[in-house]
Amino acid sequence: MNILRPSYHITPKQGWINDPNGFVWFNGHYHIYCQHNPHDTKWGPMHWLHFISEDLIDFEEVGISLKPDQDYDKELGCFSGSAIEIDGKLYVLYTGCSNGKQTQCLAVSNDGHTFEKSIHNPVLAEKDLPEGYMIADFRDPKVFKKNGLYHVLLACRHKDGYSSILLFSGIDLLNLKFKAVLKSFYSCQEGGMVECPDIIFDGDRCALLYSLQKPLREGEKFQNRFPVAYTVGRLDLAKGTFNEEGNEHELDNGFVCYATQSLQKEGKNYLVYWQSSWDIEDYPTVKEGYAGQLSLFKEARIEGDRIKLDFLPNSKRKSIVVEISSSQATLSLRNVEIQISKPDKRIEIRLHGSDDLRYFHLNDVNKINIDYVYDNSCVELRFQGGEAFASLLDFSQDDSKEVIIKTKGCKIINP
């Protein structure tokens, strides 16, 4: 019996997955691809594993769409990238990694599954980089179209040790030129850098998202060594500037969130991420033949300088309202323990019996609205209508899938 494999979170039939790639609506289906090693349950030469869905709830695995088979990608593989529909065809822009270089490569498909790599690859190489930026760490293209031009966000390391999100623009994907450095990052430790830039738009405002490797911890910020952070602002593509409006925030206050992929469809933004971390070395799921999982797909809204996440309809979420009656209260959801400190409005989350915790603060803790999905080993928690969100993994060997709720110093007022 597969007691660890979730029912609603994407997992591979076998092998390893990490970053989601190429999230797009095309030919009547949602498509999502994952970084994938089909040969082992650990990271290895990267392929793109393809999944399709009609509703972002139920997905079908349809096989490998990209594999490393060219000089520019055959050594370490087809790294992360994104997708866009152009004239009825699906184009993916991905990072090819080989011979110590990371270059940007293009592939096109008529059906979303079988791709032909461009004879012009790589379409962005060392000659296209601004001075001081390194081809050895130049990856994760996010492509979008605005104002009649194609634009691509890319992560890249500078020779002086910091890293940046670069903007390239062009009339098509074969004629992209460097435009500007949008944002730079100086606090990544131990050789870390920014990765996986992403962007969601809401009118004339946007949120620039990015994944960080080992950023310097700042109080309760960056408790994870591999977090997703974001900044809300306004992007001027003509000038090549991103004008920040507000503070930098983390997307998820839990344990496992990395490498977002977003899609805007009919005015709504949808988002997914790798629900894991590079800090996890042993996956109990390897005994079931796989390792790695994606988060549930969620709607993302910009409110003020924050992104608020919400579960989709029919996402199997459950909701409770917890009334806090003591200065220190505890709520247990199966194996997840949530501790509430009423005086300082602090929330702590951990697995039962573990010393490893994450904490954050809410504006009001007298009554706490919690929406949750407990999908075997994958757990997602939403607090106060999206004020905070927390993802974690529970690999406990409990045959029961029932979520038993226990309280101390609080009570459920609408189960």
Q: Which residues are catalytic?
A: 19
CB-neighbour burial class of residue 111 (10 A; exposed 0-12, middle 13-18, buried 19+): exposed
**Residue 259: HSE in the Cβ half-sphere, 13 Å Cα cutoff:** 25
Residue 400 CA to residue 331 CA, distance in Å, equals 19
How far apart CA 322 and CA 301 sit, in angstroms, is 25
Of 200, 191, 228, 199, nearest to 212 by C-alpha is 228
Nearest to 168 by CA among 148, 144, 145, 152: 152
Q: Which two tokens stand for residue 351?
A: 């697995």
Task: Using only the alpha carbons of the chain, give its radius of gyration.
Answer: 21
Instruction: Give the 3-state secondary structure of the chain.
Output: CCCCCCCCCCCCCCEEEEEEEEEEEECCEEEEEEEEECCCCCCCCEEEEEEEECCCCCEEEEEEEECCCCCCCCCCEEEEEEEEEECCEEEEEEEEEECCEEEEEEEEECCCCCEEECCCCCCECHHHCCCCEEEEEEEEEEEEEECCEEEEEEEEEECCCCEEEEEEEECCCCCCEEEEEEEEECCECCCCCEEEEEEEEECCEEEEEEEECCECCECCECCCCCCEEEEEEEEECCCCEEEECCCCEECCCCCCCEEEEEEEECCEEEEEEECCCCCCCCCHHHHHCEECCECCCEEEEEECCEEEEEECCCCCCEEEEEEECCCEEEEEECCEEEEEECCCCEEEEEECCCCCCEEEECCCCCEEEEEEEEECCEEEEEEHHHCEEEEEECCCCCCCCCCCEEEECEEECCC
